């Protein structure tokens, strides 16, 4: 098996085991779309490596639906391919939900969080915002305590 196919198989296993496949995400994309896009992007990197040293970067985007299809979450996987080391790494994951964004920087592929944990990134943020709202004074209603 060539090194490129080995890289693709490793990524397929990683993405599937971490819930980044169309079935697990309940994605509207056709089954296998994300992996085909990964293969296409890696092919472009390999072609470009014939004339440039790299490393090369690309992104894969997909969406997932949660809570009985009420919540749509966007995922943007940032990849880096180093042809010298024959290394394909996910460097960052951007997650979008309800006009909010969260970024997870990754030092290695195994640090990729499971897709089903994406909502937890926003639950913490929502809790922080609620706490701030409770502690902030009401706008337009100032209390004069010296009366």
| Residue 102 belongs to a domain | yes
| Dist. CA 9–CA 2, nearest whole Å | 11
| Dist. CA 87–CA 109, nearest whole Å | 11
Number of domains the chain contains: 1
| Residue 144 belongs to a domain | no
Specify the pLDDT at position 143. Answer: 43
Give 94-143 pLDDT, tens digit per residue.
999 888 899 999 999 999 999 988 878 776 544 444 433 333 344 444 44
Give 3-52 pLDDT, tens digit per residue.
888 999 999 999 999 999 999 998 989 999 999 999 999 999 999 999 99
Specify the pLDDT at position 14. Answer: 96
| Residue 141 belongs to a domain | no
| DSSP string covering 19-50 | T-SHHHHT-SSPTTHHHHHHHHHHHHHHHHTT
| Residue 62 belongs to a domain | yes
| Residue 147 belongs to a domain | no
| Residue 91 belongs to a domain | yes
Closest-CA residue to 59 (of 104, 93, 19, 103)? 93
| Residue 146 belongs to a domain | no
Q: Domain residues for 43?
A: 3-135
CA distances from 12 to 57, 64, 71, 124 (A): 18, 17, 25, 30
Specify the pLDDT at position 137. Answer: 42
Specify the pLDDT at position 98. Answer: 85
| Residue 40 belongs to a domain | yes
């Amino acid at each position: 098996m060539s090194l490129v196919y080995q890289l693709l198989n490793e990524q397929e296993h990683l993405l599937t085991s971490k819930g980044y496949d169309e079935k697990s995400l309940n994605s509207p994309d056709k089954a296998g779309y994300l992996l085909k896009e990964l293969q296409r992007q890696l092919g472009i990197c390999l072609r470009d490596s014939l004339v440039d040293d790299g490393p090369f970067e690309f992104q894969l985007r997909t969406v997932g639906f949660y809570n009985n299809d009420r919540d749509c979450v966007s995922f943007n996987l940032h990849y880096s391919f180093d042809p010298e080391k024959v290394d394909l790494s996910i460097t960052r994951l951007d997650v979008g939900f309800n006009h909010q964004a969260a970024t997870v920087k990754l030092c290695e592929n195994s640090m990729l969080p499971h897709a089903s944990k994406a909502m937890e990134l926003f639950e913490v943020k929502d809790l922080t915002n609620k706490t701030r709202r409770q502690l902030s004074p009401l706008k337009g209603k100032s209390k004069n305590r010296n009366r």
